[in-house]
Amino acid sequence: MQLYLPIAEVSVNIFLILGLGGLVGVLSGMFGVGGGFLITPLLFFVGIPPAVAVATSTNQIVASSFSALLAHLKRRTVDLRMGTVLLIGGLAGSTLGLVIFNHLRSLGQVDLLVSLFYVVFLGIIGALMLVESLNALLKARKPGGARKTRKHHYWVHNLPLKIKFRVSGLYISVIPPLIVGVLVGILSAIMGVGGGFIMVPAMIYLLGMPTKVVIGTSLFQIIFVTAYTTMLHATTNYTVDIMLALLLIVGGVIGAQVGTRIGMKLKAESLRILLALLVLLVCGKLGLDLLLQPSELYSLKAAGAL
């Protein structure tokens, strides 16, 4: 069954898009990630114009993060003060990201920008995750391995403008969380992602936040930043496709329930290895597209469309 998308101006198969949303939903349920980093490239592969794919997936992330945030709010695992600091940085970063995005779009280089960002970030994160979870597996077999101390705490503790974050049990400068927020905001606007895959490790290893509040706090920040990014894309580029978003959301909601159930049956380390391999796979596919000679060297951009 075909559906004509009013903004993307392409006709897509409903079940294909529902399936995509569902697949990403399963993964996000299994691994506890937003899945934006998978949905955007998958939308490219099925022929959605890149600008529409990026803008629409930010809208989809609002939906998938909102239900997760509700659960975390109930469990009181959200550091609202830290979330607000990250959010202030995020809004600034998102605005900056959109300026870069629109500038490169006018130069015809936006596809390259998005692909490069994906290859670099997915490559780094995937490799780090793989190494770390393999190490964790090895340590689990050989008990007694001491955990490395986190060096970053020292310089983070010496910066000015300190604030007390009670829920996280931290007394640190606002500068590092602001910078993390800005970086994540830029990624959100350019890659159409929530940025959880960058923010969560940064919160644990850079800010030293306790693991139990990390996910809820990052969700809090992600919802507002992606909502803001959606509004920016909707008002400057008119590239948010509600119909596409709705299909992805419906698929994602169902998929997430399935994924959560699968996730509960698998071990945490093996889950992380699987996720790392998946991230590297997407990275590899996008990287090959940049490296190998494309079969069609030419591409078109009609006025008023991308």
Partner 1 sequence: MIRVILALLLLAVPVHSETIVLGLSQDSVSITASFDGSDILIFGAVSRDAPEPLEKGKLGVIIAVSGPDQSVLVYRKARRMGIWVNTSEVAVDSAPSFYAVATSGPLQDVLSDTEDLRNRITIPRAIRSVGADVSDSDVFTQALIRIRAKDSLFQMNSGAVDLEQDTLFRTSFRLPANLIEGDYLARIFLTRGGTVIDSHSTVIPVQKVGLERWLYNLAHLQPFLYGLLSLIIAVAAGWAASVGAAALKR
Closest C-alpha among 172, 212, 33, 188 to residue 98 = 188
d(CA 205, CA 273): 19
| Least distance between partner 1 and beta carbon 12 (Å) | 9
| Residues lying near partner 1 in the complex (CB under 8 A) | 1-4, 6-7, 9-11, 59-60, 62-68, 70-71, 108-109, 111-112, 116, 227, 230-231, 233-235, 238, 240, 242-243, 245-246, 249-250, 253, 256-257, 290-294, 296-305
The nearest distance, CB 5 to partner 1, in angstroms, is: 9
Task: Output the six-digit token pair for 124.
Answer: 């780094």
Which CB sits closer to partner 1, 80 or 243?
A: 243
Reported as half-sphere exposure (CB side, CA atoms, 13 A), residue 253 has a value of: 10
Cβ nearer to partner 1, comparing 117 with 205: 117
CA–CA separation, 53 and 20 (whole Å): 13
Residue found by looking up tokens 């991230």 in the block: 279
Q: 64 vs 133, which CB is nearer to partner 1?
A: 64
Q: Minimum distance between the CB of residue 144 and partner 1, rounded to whole angstroms? A: 39
Nearer residue to partner 1 within complex by CB, 143 or 294: 294
- State the DSSP H helix or E strand holding residue 135, giving kind and residue range, or none if neither: helix 110-141
Q: Give whichever of 48 and 276 is closer to partner 1, judged by the CB atom.
A: 48
Q: Which residues pair with 172 in a beta bridge?
A: 163
Smallest separation (angstroms) from partner 1 to the CB of 138: 35
Contact in structure between 176 and 100 (CB atoms under 8 Å): no
Q: Rounded to the nearest whole angstrom, what is the least distance from the CB of residue 191 to partner 1 in the complex?
A: 18
Comparison of 14 and 136: residue with beta carbon closer to partner 1: 14
Question: Closest separation between CB of residue 305 and partner 1, Å?
Answer: 8
Q: In the 3-class helix/strand/coil scheme, how is 48-61 assigned residue by residue?
A: CCHHHHHHHHHHHH
Helix (H) or strand (E) holding 259: helix 242-265
